[in-house]
Structure 1
Amino acid sequence: MPSATHELPLAGSSMMGRETAETAVAPIDDSVDAVPPARRLVPLAFQHVLVMYAGAVAVPLVVGRALDLPPAQLGMLISADLVACGFATLIQTLGLPLVGIRLPIVMGVTFASISPMLAMIAAGHAEGTPPAMVLRGIYGAVIVAGLFGFLVAPFVGRLSRLFPPAVTGTVILSIGLSLMRVGINWSAGGQPTDPGYGAPAHLGLALLTLVVVLCLMRFGHGLLRSGAVLAGTIVGTVIAGAMGQVDLEPVREASWFALVKPFQYGAPSFDAPASIAMCLVMMTVMIESFGMFMAAGQMVGRPVERGQMVRGLRGDAVGTLLGGVFNTFPYTSFAQNIGLLSITGVRSRFVCAGAGVILLALGVCPKLAALVAAVPLPVLGGAALVMFGMIAATGIRILGSVELTFERLVTIAVSIAVGLIPVLSERFFQAMPSALAPLLHSGIVLASISAVGLNAFFGSRASREAEVI
């Protein structure tokens, strides 16, 4: 039976002994299937929830505001989203027959779904369609996309052979670089168009949180070290509260319990163009999931095989199907949570399953959800800079183990550049058809397609040269 913990081995020589002893890390969970004790599992699970919460509620907020929903219905969308997040996370981490990757994955609404949904909302406004009817059309398209994803998962899973280490490292590096914009904007207070963006108070909070997290990672031990992000977030939030930057009024106004019912807006309606657009989103989600699953597998020391990849893709599809049933949207694995794996060193999938349970509790208890939402964005941003940077560093580590021939260097260089296009220039593809938006506005998808295509292109050239020789 494998040990539940391990330490870095110390070198035998006297010259290296002191240096290695000083850099040895605290014991960490060694097995993906290990179940940490509750005193560790609960705070580590809550840490995962804090990291993904802002991203999880962003899509229902955008959709609800675009529909001009009243606060009560907007709160219902958020509650439904959190419940579906919880169910989808439990499916991926614990697994069902033929479904679920059984790795430490946390699920949330994909941002790739925003574009087609806003197009449906705009069409509804033009035709005078009531918001409830528009939502029923959205949910019908989401259900079709979930069924489509489940059916094509075995075929998409065959693409695993197109992801050798050079491609895997490039994609993971691109994930980290793409997410850095999110962490930077959080640190500055939201979006560049928001009032007070980049204010010294926001930057100071982000820096303070970052310093606390780094100090705990350097000087902390045990749970304090592995829970550095959670502890840093708490410290940052307390200081932000003393500065008057934490609004607890929504917490006081929120109710204690709200039941989320399936098809709360009525039976879903089905529209062919909307369904096709959402199926394209589902394909985008699956391509992104390749990178996410590979990154998670590399970080926990359990590389993802083809069968496991197919189960993970089915997990995305089932999560999306549940989204349509529970009045919410398509789901995918959240990259920000994968960044925590490197920071904490905790590999257990049951920690993320615990996060799923917490998300369920937040979904049926709006008061708790409002309390988590009270954490200021600059505080989350300070911690995110570490987490997203760790994802990029993992990609660099993988590439460091690959023989970097000229062809591979070209593949890496071009793929990273292509993946950064939507990150550095949001209007670069503005003249392209809106139907392609889910593909063109995802740096992860662009980097994946570029890396796979260039690797195949240069690989075929190398094969021809080998045949000549």
Structure 2
Amino acid sequence: MTQSAAVPVHPVDERLPLPKLFMLGLQHVLVMYAGAVAVPLIIGGALKMSVDQIAFLINADLFACGIATLIQTLGLWIFGLRLPIMMGVTFTAVTPMIAIGTNPDLGLLDIYGATIAAGIIGILIAPFIGKLLRLFPPVVTGTVITVIGISLMGVGINWAAGGFGNPDYGNPLYLGVSFAVLLCILFITKYVRGFFANIAVLLGILFGTLVAIALGKVSFAGVSEAPWFGFVMPFHFGVPRFDPIAIATMTLVMLVTFIESTGMFLAVGDIVGRPVDQKTLVRGLRVDGLGTLIGGIFNTFPYTSFSQNVGLVGVTGVKSRWVCAMGGAILIVLGLFPKVAHIVASVPQFVLGGAGIVMFGMVTATGIKILSSVDLSKNRYNLYIIAISIGVGMIPVASDKFFMKLPHALAPFFHSGILLASISAVLLNAHFNGLRSEEEASALAQEAARQADAAH
């Protein structure tokens, strides 16, 4: 008997056959693609860059996405969560980057300098942020993950209606195709078994794309003009400039990203049955910093884990990190072959809408699952922690102008419902239940890991 046969392999470390890996990896890429290219489009438009320059930004973004994802999933020295995570540009940085880029005294090169500096600072402070894990017992973790899912639901809903900014937003045809994709995914999940059940979201997206093509709603404009190969040259736009105020601003963005990533990492650890301890959390946060550093070098922006892919892991039940590693490899190819990237970009957002509702709902369900293990009958304070924190986390979702009279520099903090919910839950838990020591938190994490291994 071989060693691999004698020693069971955890689903996270399972290496699937290459054809299955490719299909499952492609599924991850498709569900994150719209979000991955959105930030370069927004920044390029705000800075009035040419079409060719924006196209380069997108290719650079996909290339850096792939590198950061490979490091996060496979691990490199002291970097890498080694869980099924896809990395992408964080939307938290959009407003500060536009402010830096449109400042008459600054510009794009100052964005890149601040991104590089924030990435280095992020790598250095990751161990200190990791010590905050003891502030995230199940009542806090479950609340934060629930808010993540609810906050993201707005993205899926906007996709289903045609995408934010679409002049034909809410067209019944968009809603119908999106609903058909949702039904297709549910049908496959219910009646299909084996590998095809695992790629239900991919099959639903392909079905919706074919319907959209038949209805004449898919545009392949730009595919023929796009080059087959495009090398992503570091410092393509010039030598970065390092402005202290811009660096401080992007470092604050890095801190916000760390808190959001902590919730994502804890969620995916719970989904795959490999709870995240402090050491693992630090390795994952370091990749946020390293990915941001790589982004600045390769002409793109700060990176974090993409929550829609966390939801996809829950939907498919495929826990292998090698699937996301394949997704990272596909992203690198897309970044180096613009023509292929244009084809993938042709998938309409309303096709992704039905899939988005499933995936983001699954993130919410994961949070509710964690909260189900919390004592809500004897400890009534936990109800207050959950209720108030979810309410606070919904403020930016319900009203994007709620904090508009506060200093603009604080926007990255107050526009993140995930961060607001995290701060609220941590403070309320500390007030009502007190804080655990690092030893208690470590013991609980080890016990959770033992239970997961036993279940496996």
User: TM-score of the superposition, structure 2-length normalised?
Assistant: 0.92
- Alignment match, 2:448: none
Q: Does the C-alpha gap of structure 1 residues 123 and 299 become closer, same or farther in structure 2, counting only changes over 3 Å?
A: same
* Selected match of 1:338 from 298, 310, 319: 310
* Selected match of 1:138 from 93, 111, 115: 111
- Note the C-alpha offset of 1:194: 2.8
Instruction: Determine if contact 1:30/1:347 at 8 Å carries over to the other structure.
Output: no
Instruction: Determine if contact 1:106/1:352 at 8 Å carries over to the other structure.
Output: yes
Question: In structure 2, the residue corresponding to 1:332 is in which secondary structure?
Answer: strand
CA distance in 1, matches of 2:221, 2:299: 26
How does 1:56-455 map onto structure 2 within 5 Å? 56-124=36-104, 134-191=107-164, 193-404=165-376, 405-455=379-429
RMSD over equivalenced CA pairs, Å: 1.7
How many residues matched? 432
Instruction: Determine if contact 2:134/2:435 at 8 Å carries over to the other structure.
Output: no
Question: In structure 1, the residue corresponding to 2:232 is in which secondary structure?
Answer: coil
- Note the C-alpha offset of 1:248: 0.9
CA distance in 2, matches of 1:461, 1:90: 35
- Note the C-alpha offset of 1:401: 1.1
Question: In structure 2, the residue corresponding to 1:182 is in which secondary structure?
Answer: helix
Instruction: Determine if contact 1:93/1:100 at 8 Å carries over to the other structure.
Output: yes
- Which amino acid in structure 2 is aligned with residue 117 of structure 1? M
CA distance in 2, matches of 1:122, 1:152: 29
CA distance in 1, matches of 2:284, 2:101: 31
Instruction: Determine if contact 1:60/1:81 at 8 Å carries over to the other structure.
Output: yes
- Note the C-alpha offset of 1:2: 8.2
- Note the C-alpha offset of 1:3: 7.7
- Note the C-alpha offset of 1:461: 11
CA distance in 1, matches of 2:197, 2:310: 17
| 63-72 vs 85-94, greater mean Cα deviation | 63-72
- Note the C-alpha offset of 1:448: 0.7
- Which amino acid in structure 2 is aligned with residue 432 of structure 1? L
CA distance in 2, matches of 1:30, 1:176: 26
| 248-257 vs 319-328, greater mean Cα deviation | 248-257
Runs of 4+ in 1 over 4 A off after TM superposition: 1-4
- Which amino acid in structure 2 is aligned with residue 169 of structure 1? G
- Which amino acid in structure 2 is aligned with residue 123 of structure 1? N
- Which amino acid in structure 1 is aligned with residue 155 of structure 2? V
- Which amino acid in structure 2 is aligned with residue 79 of structure 1? N
- Note the C-alpha offset of 1:460: 3.5
Instruction: Determine if contact 1:423/1:443 at 8 Å carries over to the other structure.
Output: yes
- Note the C-alpha offset of 1:73: 0.8
Q: Does the C-alpha gap of structure 1 residues 303 and 3 become closer, same or farther in structure 2, counting only changes over 3 Å?
A: farther
Structure 1, unmatched stretches of 5+, are 7-28, 463-469
- Alignment match, 1:15: none
Instruction: Determine if contact 2:135/2:435 at 8 Å carries over to the other structure.
Output: no
Offset from partner CA, 1:33-60 (integer Å, 9 cap, x none): 1111112110000000001000000100
- Note the C-alpha offset of 1:251: 1.6
- Which amino acid in structure 1 is aligned with residue 13 of structure 2? D
Offset from partner CA, 1:77-122 (integer Å, 9 cap, x none): 0000000000000010011111111110000000011111111122
- Note the C-alpha offset of 1:429: 1.0
CA distance in 2, matches of 1:308, 1:381: 33
Instruction: Determine if contact 1:3/1:30 at 8 Å carries over to the other structure.
Output: no
CA distance in 1, matches of 2:166, 2:155: 14
- Alignment match, 2:17: 37
| 396-405 vs 299-308, greater mean Cα deviation | 396-405
- Alignment match, 1:49: 29
Highest CA radius of gyration, 1 or 2? 1
CA distance in 2, matches of 1:296, 1:207: 27
